[in-house]
Amino acid sequence: MYEQDVVVYDSRRYVAPSEHTRPTTERPWIRWTLTIIAILFMLAVLVLPLVLVFTEAFRKGADTYFAAFQDPQSIAAIKLTLLVAAIAVPLNLVFGVMAAWCISKYEFPGKAFLTTLIDLPFSVSPVVSGMVYVLLFGLQGWFGPWLKAAHVEIIFAVPGIVLATIFVTFPFIARELIPLMQDQGTQDEEAAISLGANGWQTFWRVTLPNIKWGLLYGVLLCNARAMGEFGAVSVVSGHIRGKTNTMPLDIEILYNEYNFTAAFAIASLLAMLALVTLVIKTILEFRYGDELAGTRRH
């Protein structure tokens, strides 16, 4: 070891990294080539389609664009999408926090199985999950006759859309919180309980402040997926225009009817909601990257 490679700091010896400890040894032209290829790929696959959505939406002018949002069926689709998200996201927030709390704070039989169940919506096609709800709550399903006798509508109604959306979006909050809460451990909660705090006080004053940014991050992702879900909602909705069509379903119908301007106008609204989510997500990662680092371990 050469003398110039040793730096003395606070009475401790620190070995300065030399050229041989660089993480990569590729030549500059290789790094630049890979970087350019990655940028071009993202521009072609991500940015270009987004630009085309807004271009097609405004192709016939701003008046035609805003007229698309005056159609009663499109208004109903927008309202239904917001309603479903307003129901599904808070429920997933509650159940996601509960699941993350149980998995990260306690040891119990079946813990690994519960963790696997939380990941199930990631591996199952949304269309399959919608079919399951039809088999359970449809007229010919297991609970269909009883629901019909009780005059309760789930399939081809708002409750079915909410259930399908909850199933598809459930993992987002739980999977953001589980690694974060596991990384934090139980020391803070144990200290609060030893000082006389009850379970509710411990959660509100200790656990929640520690997970607030990870929780908000998960809520943003959950909300974005809830508003953009198509497959599961398409199966359970019945495509009743003005009643059970969400924005993605309304876009499909408008496009199939060759009403391209209206279809791209509604699509641009979904895209803008996604961009707002992306901006907030980026701000959170930039300002609170250290606190969110634990959520990147899954």
pLDDT tens, position by position, 237-287: 988 888 899 999 999 999 999 999 899 999 999 888 888 887 887 887 777
The string over 238-274, giving b where at least 16 C-beta atoms fall within 10 Å of a residue's C-beta and e elsewhere, is beeeeebbbbbbbbebbeeeeeebbbbbbbbbbbebe
Q: Which residues pair with 14 in a beta bridge?
A: 7
User: Is residue 151's pLDDT more than 60?
Assistant: yes
User: Is residue 168's pLDDT more than 90?
Assistant: yes
Q: Model pTM?
A: 0.79
User: Is residue 5's pLDDT more than 50?
Assistant: no
Instruction: Give first-to-last CA distance, the chain, whole Å.
Output: 39
- DSSP H helix total and E strand total for the chain: 15, 2
User: Is residue 65's pLDDT more than 80?
Assistant: yes
